[in-house]
């Protein structure tokens, strides 16, 4: 089986569910094709997430054109240091860029702020901290951007969508210090059970992706087990994090049932009960 071949459609869910985090602009299918495949397995809504100004504009435009799509807009944590310090090697999809300094970051954040004011934009994110790809020289720009996104989310009454990679303590510190928005979502939850209990006490939503099905992901399953069902979401983060047994092949919203069934087993719930709860949670988180 080719690693580039799309996995087959899983058995449809009996109860509709939503994909709380996807990147349709990075997938091979057209938006219409992706939504049709998702609907065929009862994934009836998706949150399209922007990672830079151009992607956020695209997310907003796509949500305006498709009722099943809800937009979230932001500068990805790794985008902020690239804006400030430049990216001469072109490590991102956008290619090489010159340093823009704080003024360029302020300009980009102003565009995100304007997009966040739109009615069909339901979230501000993915924002947060990522200590995996960004070295010490980029941390200050990341935190400045994160704090700005928190204020944008609160100003417009939108959900905050958090990207947290190798930065759990610092993400929680900034949220506590700045004051988290009323609705805060940890996208692709990556903490352990202890952190899940901290998030639960704070009322943060925890969104689990296909990596919770991986053999080495017992800490994620332990976190899911203790996470309150009313705070649990499911996502693809497509085209990334394709669930087992399709790991390494292209991900898409239609594969949500694979992850949801694995989650139901961990939670000791039947899939219909979990799907209904997750749809309600996602609609509550993103106000749709």
21 annotated among ligand-binding-site residues = yes
Q: Please tell me whether 149 is known to bind a ligand.
A: no
Query: Please, what is the angle between helix 101-116 and helix 53-65, to 10°?
Result: 10
Tokens of 87: 């990216």
Rg (CA), the chain: 18
- Candidates 189, 262, 186, 257; CA nearest to 220 is 189
Dist CA 219 CA 193 (whole Å): 7
Angstrom CA distances, 26 to 82, 97, 188, 202, 238, stand at: 20, 20, 17, 32, 8
How far apart CA 35 and CA 44 sit, in angstroms, is 8
What Cα–Cα distance (Å) separates residue 201 from each residue in 85, 198, 205, 231? 37, 5, 11, 10
Name which of 265, 268, 263, 204 is nearest 17 in CA terms. Answer: 263
- Flag whether 126 is marked binding: yes
- Give phi and psi for 138, each to the nearest 5: -100, -5
Taking CA atoms, 116 is separated from 128, 171, 224, 265, in Å, by: 16, 21, 30, 37
**Is there a contact between 156 and 117 (Cβ–Cβ < 8 Å)?**
yes
Residue 76 marked as a ligand binder: no
| 66 belongs to an annotated ligand binding site | no
As annotated, the binding site for a divalent metal cation includes: 21, 23, 126, 163, 187, 237
Q: Which residues are annotated as a binding site?
A: 21, 23, 126, 163, 187, 237
């Amino acid at each position: 089986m080719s690693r580039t071949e799309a996995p087959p459609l899983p058995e449809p869910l009996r109860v509709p569910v939503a994909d709380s985090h996807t990147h349709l602009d990075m997938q091979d299918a057209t938006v219409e094709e992706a939504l049709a495949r998702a609907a065929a397995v009862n994934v009836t809504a998706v949150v399209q997430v922007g990672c830079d100004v151009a992607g956020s504009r695209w997310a907003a435009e796509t949500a305006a054109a498709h009722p099943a799509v809800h937009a979230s807009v932001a500068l990805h944590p790794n985008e902020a240091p690239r804006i400030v310090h430049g990216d001469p090697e072109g490590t991102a999809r956008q290619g090489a860029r010159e340093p823009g300094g704080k003024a360029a970051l302020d300009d980009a954040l102003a565009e995100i702020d304007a997009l966040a004011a739109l009615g069909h934009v339901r979230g501000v994110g993915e924002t947060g901290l990522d200590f995996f790809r960004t070295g010490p020289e980029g941390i200050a720009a990341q935190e400045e951007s994160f704090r700005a996104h928190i204020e944008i989310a609160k100003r417009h009454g939108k959900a905050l969508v958090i990207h947290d990679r190798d930065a759990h303590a610092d993400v929680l510190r900034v949220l506590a210090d700045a004051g988290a928005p009323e609705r805060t979502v940890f996208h692709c939850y990556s903490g352990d059970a202890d952190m899940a209990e901290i998030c639960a006490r704070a009322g943060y939503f925890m969104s689990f992706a296909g990596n919770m099905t991986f053999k080495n992901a017992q800490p994620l399953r332990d976190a899911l087990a203790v996470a309150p069902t009313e705070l649990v979401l499911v996502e693809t983060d497509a085209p990334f994090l394709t669930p087992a047994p399709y790991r390494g092949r292209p991900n898409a919203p239609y594969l949500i049932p694979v992850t949801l069934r694995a989650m139901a087993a961990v939670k000791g719930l039947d899939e219909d009960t979990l799907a209904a709860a997750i749809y309600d949670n996602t609609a509550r988180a993103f106000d749709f």
